[in-house]
Amino acid sequence: MRIPTLSLILWSLLAPMISGAQENPVRVEGYLYLDHSPVSLKIQNGKILEINRLTEIPDGFPEVYIAPGFIDNQVNGYAGVSFALGGSDLTTEGVTKATRALWKEGVTTYLPTLTTNSREILLKNFRILAAAMENKEIRGSIPGFHLEGPFISPEDGYRGAHPAEHVRLPDWNELREYQQAAGGKILQLTLAPEVEGALALMDSCRENHILVALGHHNAPAAIITAAIDRGARIATHLGNGAANTINRHRNPFWPQLADERLMISIIADGFHLLPEQIRVFTKVKGTGGTILTSDVTGFAGLPPGEFVTSEGITIELTPEGMLRYPGQNVLYGSASPLSKGVGHVMKVTGCSLADAVQMASTNPARLYGLDDRGEIAPGKRADLVIFTLENFHVSVQHTIVAGETVYRAEP
Ligand SMILES: [Zn+2]
């Protein structure tokens, strides 16, 4: 009997060397977001190992939900760091700071988003971001980038806050330079399909695996259909990036809503869309065709107060998370993280938590081919958000990224 025991001891010593160091499994408990069933998850080596559904709720079981980490496809900046502007705060450290602040809100994956700007600033910022995304400290939270502009509509209203002097016509050579600067990691381009050269650019995007989104445009129905035929997959923040006054028949909303091949993203922060818009959009597109996005600027995640932008404009962040021109109800941008959108979409549509999380995590993971994310299943990356939900308010208690706790709320 001594020999097998010895071989067992030897095996236990050698096995970690043979198979790579195995950490001890970590356990996470709470109610599964899908069906409110009590579960115990086992995590090992950054991945979900097992999901055990409990038949009885043990004493002291935590009153929290467990969901896959939120995935935000439009983050212009966060916690005082702007990805999109030309300021000097965009450094690897700045990106780490923004990422850590997003983790506190349960956002475990996001696409830093650059908007219409000069060629020099876009190239510079993509180079910095491409280096920053490799930083081990952010644990793979940035899989790639979103470029919104500069090939958008020059028309006031549709152009939104994008500076007119930097709006230009689509040019594949220019986009290719950005893609090179970004290390090949531009995952999505938002463009206006009606501007000269846009449809041809879409062909180049398709060949080069850049997903095309329609946004900040005033395209007629025939061009929207042509763009979807050429592979446009999603409408960026439907209902925003449009003029205040539109033709009741011929406007870009109807054809984008009517074509079931096109998904939509919506800013469900409680300020950018009316509840009835969110209800109609989600009814038409369904849970499977809708993505929640934040479109947050660098002012998001800061304490309420007044700030001066790099253009010298004074803006105000209210305690409710509205980013506006002081004393007016005119929005400057968005300041609510995706966690707020999850609660808000449930509040205004009556959808389940499972549906809200699908729109905030599963759908974007599938759209960008992030096969290891967006679901709780064995073998997936252990990117988890653990939260309470009261009065449609998501309060993040604990965030896990690639198996490691990166945030825990004060008790
Ligand atoms: Zn926009």
**Ligand 1 center–CA 347 separation, angstroms:** 24
**Ligand 1 center–CA 364 separation, angstroms:** 17
| Strand residue runs (E) in 45-83 | 47-53, 65-68, 70-75, 77-78, 81-82
**Ligand 1 center–CA 174 separation, angstroms:** 20
Strands 38-44 and 26-32: antiparallel
pLDDT of residue 127: 97
**Ligand 1 center–CA 241 separation, angstroms:** 6
pLDDT of residue 21: 62
**Ligand 1 center–CA 306 separation, angstroms:** 23
**Ligand 1 center–CA 328 separation, angstroms:** 21
Buried residues in 343-359 as b, exposed as e (16+ CB within 10 A): bbbbbbbebebebbbbb
pLDDT of residue 329: 79
**Ligand 1 center–CA 216 separation, angstroms:** 6
Does the residue 10 lie in any domain? Answer: no
**Ligand 1 center–CA 304 separation, angstroms:** 23
**Ligand 1 center–CA 388 separation, angstroms:** 31
Does the residue 42 lie in any domain? Answer: yes
Strands 314-317 and 322-324: antiparallel
**Ligand 1 center–CA 215 separation, angstroms:** 7
Contact 337, 295 (CB under 8 A): no
Provide the H-helix boundaries in 286-390.
338-349, 353-357, 363-367
Q: Which domain holds residue 394?
A: 25-67+378-408
**Ligand 1 center–CA 383 separation, angstroms:** 27
What is the full per-residue pLDDT of the chain (411 aa) written as tens digits?
444 444 444 444 444 444 456 678 999 999 999 999 999 999 999 999 999 999 999 999 999 999 999 999 999 999 999 998 877 779 999 999 999 999 999 999 999 999 999 999 999 999 999 999 999 999 999 999 999 999 999 999 999 889 999 999 999 999 999 999 999 999 999 999 999 999 999 999 999 999 999 999 999 999 999 999 999 999 999 999 999 899 999 999 999 999 999 999 999 999 999 999 999 999 999 999 999 999 999 999 999 999 998 778 899 999 988 999 888 878 888 999 999 999 999 999 999 999 999 999 999 999 999 999 999 999 999 999 999 999 999 999 999 999 999 999 998
Distance CA 355, CA 268 (A): 14
**Ligand 1 center–CA 115 separation, angstroms:** 8
Does the residue 399 lie in any domain? Answer: yes
Let me know whether 306 and 247 are in one domain. Answer: yes
**Ligand 1 center–CA 24 separation, angstroms:** 44
**Ligand 1 center–CA 76 separation, angstroms:** 10
Q: Look up the pTM and report it.
A: 0.94
Let me know whether 188 and 312 are in one domain. Answer: yes
Does the residue 13 lie in any domain? Answer: no
Let me know whether 354 and 301 are in one domain. Answer: yes
Strands 263-267 and 234-235: parallel
**Ligand 1 center–CA 243 separation, angstroms:** 12
Let me know whether 33 and 97 are in one domain. Answer: no
**Which residue type is seen at 277?**
Q
**Ligand 1 center–CA 190 separation, angstroms:** 8
**Ligand 1 center–CA 42 separation, angstroms:** 40
**Ligand 1 center–CA 35 separation, angstroms:** 34
Does the residue 11 lie in any domain? Answer: no
Let me know whether 116 and 178 are in one domain. Answer: yes
Let me know whether 207 and 248 are in one domain. Answer: yes
**Ligand 1 center–CA 307 separation, angstroms:** 21
Per-residue pLDDT tens over the stretch 183-198: 999 999 999 999 999 9
pLDDT of residue 320: 87
Let me know whether 267 and 388 are in one domain. Answer: no
**Ligand 1 center–CA 321 separation, angstroms:** 18
Q: What's the number of domains the chain is made of?
A: 2
**Ligand 1 center–CA 346 separation, angstroms:** 23
Let me know whether 62 and 75 are in one domain. Answer: no
Let me know whether 125 and 263 are in one domain. Answer: yes
**Ligand 1 center–CA 149 separation, angstroms:** 8
Let me know whether 325 and 178 are in one domain. Answer: yes
Per-residue pLDDT tens over the stretch 53-95: 999 999 999 999 999 999 999 999 999 999 988 777 799 999 9
Let me know whether 113 and 137 are in one domain. Answer: yes
> 385: domain CATH number?
2.30.40.10
Let me know whether 214 and 338 are in one domain. Answer: yes
Does the residue 394 lie in any domain? Answer: yes
**Ligand 1 center–CA 158 separation, angstroms:** 9
**Ligand 1 center–CA 394 separation, angstroms:** 25
> 188: domain CATH number?
3.20.20.140
**Ligand 1 center–CA 349 separation, angstroms:** 23
Does the residue 7 lie in any domain? Answer: no
Does the residue 3 lie in any domain? Answer: no
